[in-house]
Structure 1
Amino acid sequence: MQLKHIMNFGGLPTILISTITGALIGYLLPKLQARIQKRKRASLNYTEDDNLVSGDTYKMLLVVRMDLKMGKGKVAAQCAHAACGSVEVATKRNPDILKKWRMEGQAKVVVKIQTEEELIALGRTASDQGVLSYIVRDAGRTQIEAGSRTVLALGPGKKSDIDMITGHLKLL
């Protein structure tokens, strides 16, 4: 049986050329991706040793008030507002930590708190400790009264700094 559908390129069948090309791509692509990541880190003045020396990684913590009894969608929207607001604050006040947090994958953790008073006190403690913070105040268009404080974002910042303030809080 003749294989008429196999074309020859300089005596090599297409299947062989495809196999060789695939192997080269499989070998070279990870190396290229590693070089791109290395250049990206270098452009941000960040190396993997940065957090090895300090023993720290970076995260953002979103603290949700449970006494408001928000629906799941409302909580998600308020957390998104908090994360965006926190990034805006970090852009102005501490762009280096923001860059490191981004390089590590932008870790976000959501925890719960019971009252507005606890939320405000936690925000003050964070501020006193030098941890970036942002409190969301609801516009009052749906489930919550206008001006209600719904979510507190802490960070992005060093995980150890945030955990020192919030280690007692439970995951949502």
Structure 2
Amino acid sequence: MSAAREEDVVRGTNQPLFSPNEEAVGQIMSLGFSRNAAIRALFYTGNQSADLAAGWLLENGDRNLDAPLEADLQGSDSSDDDEFLTTDSFKMVFVVNSELNMGVGKIAAQVAHAALNLFRNMIEDDVKAEMLLAWGHLGETKIVLKGDNTQQLEALATQATNLKLDRCVVHDAGHTQVAPGSATVLGIFGKVDAVDKVTGKLKLL
């Protein structure tokens, strides 16, 4: 097996860990990242797109991104860890209401509110707490997207509910910048493929 493909193989077997999206690998490498970094990022974001993977790389710059993916799996044989080694990963997505023209600091605060609300709503449920644990184990992928207006956020929230995804809409108290009760951010948490059915066509903020 060529050295370029070693990172795609689970330790101790000849079975591929997963097949990375080669087009996305090329796009990520064109941004200056190594092939190993591209493959790791695609693995942890569900092998979906170069944009999502690039976002993960920027958020996880403190990791050894050039290490082969196989290195993440070495040194742990527990069944608790093994159940998280899956491309069926999770992510938290935030859709910002752009019609409110919030400043950068305001957006950051509202996204933080959404993240905390989702976490608090889920942590008391044993099954959902396990999902949060898996999400944390795989890098806590968080993506901020651009929403058009309040109506779009409400429609996306309904879609998320219909797909049984955890979601919350932040309504601001109105102390600064926006009117009281304004829907500032929609937060959604779930499996990558399910969340993408709701927000996959939106652009990064």
TM over 0.5: yes
Is 1:63 the counterpart of 2:95? The answer is yes
Of 117, 122, 126, 1:90 maps to 122
CA deviations 1:62-112 (Å, max 9, x no partner) are 000000000010001100111111111121341121110111121100001
Is 1:167 the counterpart of 2:192? The answer is no
| Secondary structure class of the residue paired with 1:106 | coil
Over the aligned positions, Cα root-mean-square deviation in angstroms equals 2.0
Q: Which has the higher contact order (CA 8 A, sep 6+)?
A: 1
CA deviations 1:122-163 (Å, max 9, x no partner) are 0011011011001111011111111111000000x1111101
2:197 partner amino acid: M
Q: Which has the higher strand share?
A: 1
Deviation at 1:46? 3.9
| Secondary structure class of the residue paired with 2:99 | coil
CA deviations 1:6-41 (Å, max 9, x no partner) are xxxxxxxxxxxxxxxxxxxxxxxxxxxx65xx48x7
Of 153, 158, 161, 1:119 maps to 153
Say whether the 8 Å CA contact 2:93–2:144 is kept in structure 1: yes
Unaligned runs of 5+ in 2: 1-73
Length, aligned pairs only: 131
Hey, which bits of structure 1, 4+ residues long, moved more than 2 A? 49-52
Which structure has the larger Rg over C-alpha atoms? Answer: 1
TM-score when scaled to structure 1? 0.70
Where do residues 9-158 of structure 1 align in structure 2 (5 Å cutoff)? 38=76, 45-47=80-82, 50-52=84-86, 55-93=87-125, 94-155=128-189, 157-158=190-191
Deviation at 1:165? 1.3
TM-score when scaled to structure 2? 0.59
Say whether the 8 Å CA contact 2:99–2:149 is kept in structure 1: yes
2:93 partner amino acid: L
